[in-house]
Amino acid sequence: MLLRPSLVKARLVIMEPPATVGSKPGGKLETVKFQFNPSTLSLSKSTEWRRKPARMAEEAALPEFVGSGPRTLSVNVFLDDTDDHENKVEKRVEELLTACVPTKKSIARKMPASPWVRFEWGKAKSVSFDGVLSSLSVDYSLFDVDGKPLRATCALSIEEASVGLPGQNPTSGAREARRTHRVVAGDSLPQLAFHEYGDATAWRVIAEANDIDDPMVLVPGTDLLVPAEREVAG
């Protein structure tokens, strides 16, 4: 009998904001599991260019690259409570709203900041990054006889807020910029090495950079430092 793979549900992980500028987010505060997976995801990223036009120039001035903007993920989440009427819609909305207000720890540090969030959905990597909830809107579309919301659509916009690991900047003394890879279910170091370098046997370089003993056992959600190709060749 052929077993079908179980359906992977999307979720939003809400985390304590970094204690200091440039550090990683703190512990997990809440995990909001979505009842239904989104039908569409919208991902955008911008770049900024600058031009210095000259009065006498016949053609447009060449653009000068200024910087790269953050990724922005937009997703609609559908909530429904018509089956059991247990007030799940409002509970999930309240969970999402906690990502829009300062946490108690950040207030105690006298550095008020709202939580960081990460959208997770199986092996989807491009839309899974540490960020902040830049906007949240809720549209209620069905109510119980007592006015309790039974159905709602929540529109979330997540703006990237990831930080690099020490030594990743090419100007900081590293031979080449490094990057990170977030582990998902099914990942292995040989697989990652083949994807990054075209050589599965280069997994030892990644293992040494992250103090990993077993290349086949990786914890989903873990961030791995991926050395640059020059470091692998070295």
Q: What architecture does CATH give domain 170-233?
A: Roll (3.10)
- The number of CA neighbours under 13 Å toward the Cβ of 113 is 21
Unique residue bearing structure tokens 């990683």: 24
CA angle 10, 227, 184 (to 5 degrees): 15
- The CATH 2.40.30 portion of the chain extends over 11-45+64-160
Task: Give the start-end residues of each E strand in the chain.
Answer: 11-15, 28-33, 41-50, 64-80, 116-120, 131-143, 149-160, 179-182, 223-226
Per-residue pLDDT tens digits for 133-174: 999 999 999 999 999 999 999 999 999 986 544 444 433 333
Per-residue pLDDT tens digits for 21-71: 677 888 899 999 999 999 999 999 988 888 777 666 677 777 888 788 889
For the 11-45+64-160 domain, the top CATH level (class) is mainly beta
Taking a C-beta distance cutoff of 8 angstroms, is the pair 137, 154 a contact?
A: yes
- The CATH 3.10.350.10 portion of the chain extends over 170-233
CA angle 71, 184, 196 (to 5 degrees): 75
Model pTM above 0.75? no
